Amino acid sequence: MSIFRPYDSDHSAAGCSCGRHSDETEHNAEQERALAARATNVEHLTNDVVEEAVLRAMFPQDHLRRHFLRAVGANTVRAAIASVLPLGALQAMAQEKTGPIEKKDLKIGFIAITCAAPLIMADPLGFYRKQGLNVTLNKTAGWALIRDKMVNKEHDASHFLSPMPLAMSMGLGSNPLPMRVATIQNINGQAITLHVKHKDKRDPKQWKGFKLAIPFEYSMHNYLLRYYLAEHGLDPDRDVQLRVTPPPEMVANLRAGNIDGFLGPDPFNQRAVYDEVGFIHILSKEIWDGHPCCAFGTSEEFIKQNPNTFAALFRSVLTAAAMARDPANRALVAKVISPAAYLNQPETVVQQVLSGKFADGLGNVRNVPTRADFDPVPWDSMGVWILSQMKRWGYIKGDVDYKAITEKVFLLTDAKKYMAELGQTVPVGAYKKYKIMGKEFDPATPDAYVNSFAIKR
């Protein structure tokens, strides 16, 4: 800008320091107005607070900070900080925390199994309350009802089997309803339990004609059991009968001899051992170490209408998962989720599941600390694997856009964001490779993976 502006009507002889005002007093008044406007804007204020906090943290001494700012200029400092710190993300997060919660009273559905430990324990331990939520946990009778109550909007958010939100979003087994998975509730934590009369039939090849129970068609249990049977040369649709049975009814059916075994959630595997009707054949961890099982999520509609509520829910469940993850806390977790209001199981049974030190029903005490674990990251590659098995067993037909569906349903980016906000270690990447019973799964080539199996539909 030139000093000489002979044709500028705004130019005055007196001038101000920026040249846009007729004199210095008007210039100052304008600046004050701008500052006042900024002070009433919540968004600006929050951003300023974050920047101020960061700056003060970096230069605790006032005079040093002022010298530095004067020497290099505010914009340079801002750019320098932004290059090492996610300033934008920090500001966005601070924004959300200050946002009012749209819906305080929430109903969350759950099935009384240890997989739901994080979302259950968040209630007695007060994690929901800490985020300003008033949550009612509704014990639900079966997975189909979990789905229906989510569709009916009786529940605001829910415990799911991790394949359910994918299936519901695609309209498998119900009308299509876009669902979102906030976190994976748990990894591992399932087992194949057989009736005690089959103690000598440890080779799956001897299982022809068996009746085996699974909790739901769209469940990890179904896909893991099918995978396990097929790897041993059994066709899960022809050589055995797979029966959908709600988890609590599995032990009763096993005792009655209606079924020969089940791949089911805990604590019912351990409960079958405790009641001396079954033994643990293998843990699901021995099929795929680190497999996802249950998930926590809600509908896309709910998130759009209540973004701050959802963020608060997300933070509560992540906090609970981080606590459940630490083996030192497992005894406490078992204690708070065992009473009648939640799992309604003997504490010693839940304790054995969570600590991994358990009686296997064959007379041995086994010690597997990672029998059940709680890793909340909803990896996209997990979703791709689930879809690959749905494709393999004919639940979905035709071409599948594995990545597009998964990335829409699994809120990996959000999980990472909230984990960072809570000071948790944030994982990198989205597509991990897995080894399942020694066979490698590459999420980059799901169709080739599906075609590589001898037994498929």
Partner 1 sequence: MNSSTSGKNLSMRAAVVSLLILLVFLLSWHLATAPTTHATPTAAMTAEQEEYAKLMGGAGTSAAADAAPAKTTGFPTPAQMGRTIVRQLSHPFYDNGPNDKGIGIQLGYSLGRVALGFIIAAVVAIPVGFMLGMSPLMQKALNPFIQILKPISPLAWMPLALYTIKDSSVSGIFVIFICSVWPMLMNTAFGVASVRRDWLNVARTLEVKPLRKAFLVILPAAAPTILTGMRISMGIAWLVIVAAEMLVGGTGIGYFVWNEWNNLSLTSVMFAILIIGVTGMLLDLLFARLQKYVTYVE
Half-sphere exposure of 268 (CA within 13 A, CB side): 28
Amino acid at 93: M
Q: Contact, 374 vs 329, CB < 8 A? A: no
Instruction: Tally the residues of the chain.
Output: 457
Q: Which residues neighbour 50 within 8 Å (Cβ) at sequence distance 6 or greater?
A: 87, 90, 91, 94
The strand pairing partners of 194, in sequence order, are 261, 279
**No. of H helices and E strands in the chain?**
20, 16
Q: From the CB of 362, what's the least distance to partner 1, in Å?
A: 10
Nearer to partner 1, 147 or 281 (CB): 147
Q: State the minimum distance, in angstroms, from the CB of residue 263 to partner 1.
A: 19
What residue ranges in 133-189 does DSSP mark as E strands? 134-139, 157-161, 179-184, 187-188
Look at residue 125 and give its three-state secondary structure. Answer: coil
Q: Which helix (H) or strand (E) holds 228?
A: helix 220-231
- Nearer to partner 1 by C-beta: 176 or 394? 176
Closest distance of CB 340 from partner 1, Å? 4
Q: Which residues bind partner 1 (CB under 8 A)?
A: 112, 136-141, 145, 148-149, 151-154, 248-249, 251-252, 271, 273-276, 339-342, 344-346, 348, 352, 357-359, 363-365
Instruction: State the nearest-atom distance from the C-beta of 425 to partner 1, in Å.
Output: 33
Q: How far is the CB of 162 from partner 1 (least distance, A)?
A: 22
CA gap 352, 359 in Å, rounded: 8
Nearer to partner 1, 181 or 337 (CB): 337
User: Which tokens belong to 350?
Assistant: 């839940």
Taking phi first (over 0 means left), then psi (-120 to 50 degrees means alpha), and beta for anything else, what does residue 203 get?
beta
In angstroms, give the least distance from the CB of 259 to partner 1.
Answer: 15
Cβ nearer to partner 1, comparing 55 with 145? 145
Cα 438 to chain centroid, rounded: 26
Using the 8-state DSSP alphabet, how is residue 114 labeled?
G
Compute the least distance from the CB of residue 452 to partner 1, in Å. Answer: 39
Give whichever of 1 and 340 is closer to partner 1, judged by the CB atom: 340
> Which lies closer to partner 1 via its Cβ, residue 346 or residue 427?
346
Total Cβ atoms within 10 A of residue 149: 16
Nearer to partner 1, 233 or 369 (CB): 369
Cα of 277 vs its chain's centroid, Å: 34
Q: Which is nearer to partner 1, 237 or 275 (CB)?
A: 275
Minimum distance from residue 359 beta carbon to partner 1 (Å) = 4
